[in-house]
Structure 1
């Protein structure tokens, strides 16, 4: 018998699922080329779901439902809230762009985004291998369709094919790793897997074999080297509105599934998976920052930037356990810094891509770095927002990117481990190299002559949201304590259960 707690655990997911179906049906009768009714209904739904998730998260309660397969805790609910807000902002930024490119002939952009968000919710809430995998597949299948949404655009279709082939391979890795862990422990429940491994009665070689495949699958979802091949091609080839989507909310879901699998389920194997994450982090920082220098396409440059930024997230995740000793304070410090980093990165990426979408117009993508020449003369406000985002991604104070990097480096150094300190030094060096391609964009905007005298125009809601987004990047850098405390509290509550 299903109890009330089970329904309570998935109430926001039910609202999202029902409204996605309702909106798909309502859209059949919408005649407006701008899909106004569909758009407004979607934003209202996302706003309600975000408020619901924030209410759940702020209550601080943790409860399990559906035979222990679903968990509702503070960390998961905050990540779901942030994911919902990221999708909402993406649709606000992307609607004029999509309308100019005939991508709103149907309501697929809105319904697929909501279904992908539902997949993220299932991933974040999963407390069972099968539930995690179902959520992952719902997200990835919706994402493949979104990338190919411009059916008449060869580059988008090619990007979707690459994403599909490599994504299927990564899903196979993850599923095979889960099957190995299931074979060794005899359970699909993450809590039971933890207890079985912690008992020390399972052959270590079998567990590590499965762990390698799980980490490989997760690394693909984060875009970490050497599983990064899809990121530059898909970011560049996808319609810009879909690039915003791929670079924001799914990253939060990927972080959640890493915490659920590696920390909640496989923490006794931390000494093994932390070494794997260290290798992935080194490769990501090296390739992401060096390859980003030679890019002329801004979306492709941001793809390599994402790879490098995910290297920092993995540094945070790998610094929690030292020599197999689980210290509560160190674990909280490490994982909360990684959560803070990925949340603030998503915020900054949203504003960056928002400016790119704002400058795009019918028949012109505005995605080359040269297209931003003299932007300060055409629109000081949007040049300022872009400059703030570039400085933040480079890690320059007093912006939020600086504090995010500092918190990860502090977690590494606080462990006292020689390898961790060496990795912190390496990360700082890579950040200095990466600063070059961020500052190049600022130089082009402020010191190069504009290619056109056309004024930058945008709907009021886009201007308001973009300005607020850019201001948050600055404000959270000056006053990061609130968000950092929220992340720390969420991690503590998640690990306590």
Structure 2
């Protein structure tokens, strides 16, 4: 007699995979299409890639395909994955919109760039929906391999190739640590399924093996997030990569890495939370201190944003350390807010850069208000939000994770977070100071005629000011994602 598990898959069985299939299928179509179009027609590859992501976004928002498990629980589409995938797809589309004029001006635009972004997006979508260690690793490596290639897309630039090599070497090391941790967890529980691991831990006598495996997995997750002391790749990659690629790496993958942390730690080794909560708390504290102190010393804006990313990851981990529905929903809220802020900050760099000039040093913003008051105003909104000044979005995200840490019994960590937030405000306000109080340096650059870029950046920056008007709805959306947690 045939068992249910041996029956062939039907369309209804794989319906939850529809958004991922659209992105992956679209990437393969564009890969083939790019072979038959000229350099002048590359805009069609770009437009179609944005259209594919828009279609996936619509499928996720409307809930097409429904939630459920596919491949015997290897892939899980639930409320948490839908929320994260919706934002990931939106951020990937923003990357392509921001990057078009920048890459075209510098003759860097190649048909494989949107294809790599699509495949990386598919990897992130699989990663946050993983119900199995094997699926988590598959999604992570698909994201990582595409990211390495994207960083190295400017092959004639020494900084870009050097950054890509560092990224590959350190990324491979982190993947090895993660894979080793997964193998130890499998050896202790006898299963690759995250739900099965969760159930098996209670009856397992291999406590040492489980804890060792968890430590190695946390090390791998910390690298992908960019938490200290696993942050060494961030400054070089942010500085060396073209600005649109740095924008991509700084936004959507951070949300995907948070999704991976949720799947592996809470869904997988949740019964060991009393141990790993303190380890996450230590990573959060170290990230807050190292990130803020190093950012203060930077004169290059990209490197400053890289070290500030380390600090923001520290804040994000405050919620994870707090645990429970409140902790994870607060961290998800922070991840979404930070991704929007990071996208806007690199978008400003892109908008102010021209062929032969990169607006990546803080001194390049001197006197910006005298030359372009609107752009200076947008940068002001971005920096204020990153600094956590009320009533901007950044203030409410910080408030959420600090409250989660306090309610999770980590008052000391919340106090450290407040102190580090004050330190962080210094280097963000320094950018505001040079824009409004310093004299312009050098000849004024020609205006950016990309109206789409200007419109998207304006909307992105203004959202940081007006989104708190919808604060309750956004928080409720994040809480719904983790409604099954207590």
Which residue of the partner structure matches residue 267 of structure 1? 270
Equivalences for residues 309-320 of structure 1 within 5 A: 309-320=312-323
Q: CA deviation at 1:157?
A: 0.3
Equivalences for residues 36-435 of structure 1 within 5 A: 36-56=43-63, 62-104=67-109, 106-197=110-201, 199-320=202-323, 331-415=324-408, 417=409, 420-435=410-425
Secondary structure, in 3 states, of the residue corresponding to 1:187? coil
Task: Answer whether contact 1:196 1:202 (CA < 8 A) is retained.
Answer: no
2:454 counterpart of 1:463? yes
Task: Answer whether contact 1:332 1:491 (CA < 8 A) is retained.
Answer: yes
Alpha-carbon distance between aligned partners in 2 of 1:314 and 1:34, rounded to the nearest angstrom: 44
Which residue of the partner structure matches residue 437 of structure 2? 447
Alpha-carbon distance between aligned partners in 2 of 1:34 and 1:263, rounded to the nearest angstrom: 47
Q: CA deviation at 1:247?
A: 0.3
1:419-469 per-residue CA deviation (whole Å, 9 max, x = no partner) reads x11111111001101110000000111111122333532311111111111
Task: Answer whether contact 1:359 1:366 (CA < 8 A) is retained.
Answer: yes
Secondary structure, in 3 states, of the residue corresponding to 1:10? helix
Which residue of the partner structure matches residue 483 of structure 1? 474
Alpha-carbon distance between aligned partners in 2 of 1:412 and 1:66, rounded to the nearest angstrom: 36
Task: Answer whether contact 1:344 1:404 (CA < 8 A) is retained.
Answer: yes
2:14 counterpart of 1:7? yes
Alpha-carbon distance between aligned partners in 2 of 1:438 and 1:34, rounded to the nearest angstrom: 40
TM-score (norm 1): 0.94
Cα RMSD (Å)? 1.4
Alpha-carbon distance between aligned partners in 2 of 1:340 and 1:359, rounded to the nearest angstrom: 29
Q: CA deviation at 1:168?
A: 0.2
Q: Pick closer, same or farther for the CA change 1:144–1:70 going to 2, 3 Å.
A: same
Q: CA deviation at 1:39?
A: 1.0
Q: CA deviation at 1:34?
A: 6.7
Secondary structure, in 3 states, of the residue corresponding to 1:318? helix
Task: Answer whether contact 2:23 2:122 (CA < 8 A) is retained.
Answer: yes
- Which ranges of structure 1 fall in alignment gaps of 5 or more residues? 321-330
1:266-309 per-residue CA deviation (whole Å, 9 max, x = no partner) reads 11000111111111111100000000001000000000000000
1:364-423 per-residue CA deviation (whole Å, 9 max, x = no partner) reads 1110000011111222222111111111111100000000000111112223x3xx1111
Which residue of the partner structure matches residue 328 of structure 1? none
Task: Answer whether contact 1:123 1:135 (CA < 8 A) is retained.
Answer: yes
Task: Answer whether contact 2:178 2:216 (CA < 8 A) is retained.
Answer: yes
Which residue of the partner structure matches residue 5 of structure 2? none
Task: Answer whether contact 2:102 2:350 (CA < 8 A) is retained.
Answer: yes
1:89-121 per-residue CA deviation (whole Å, 9 max, x = no partner) reads 1111111111122112x3011111111111111
1:133-152 per-residue CA deviation (whole Å, 9 max, x = no partner) reads 01101100000000000011
Alpha-carbon distance between aligned partners in 2 of 1:422 and 1:476, rounded to the nearest angstrom: 30
> Number of aligned pairs?
478
1:304-348 per-residue CA deviation (whole Å, 9 max, x = no partner) reads 00000000111110112xxxxxxxxxx111111000001000001
Which residue of the partner structure matches residue 326 of structure 1? none
Alpha-carbon distance between aligned partners in 2 of 1:454 and 1:132, rounded to the nearest angstrom: 46
- Which ranges of structure 2 fall in alignment gaps of 5 or more residues? 1-7
Alpha-carbon distance between aligned partners in 2 of 1:34 and 1:245, rounded to the nearest angstrom: 24
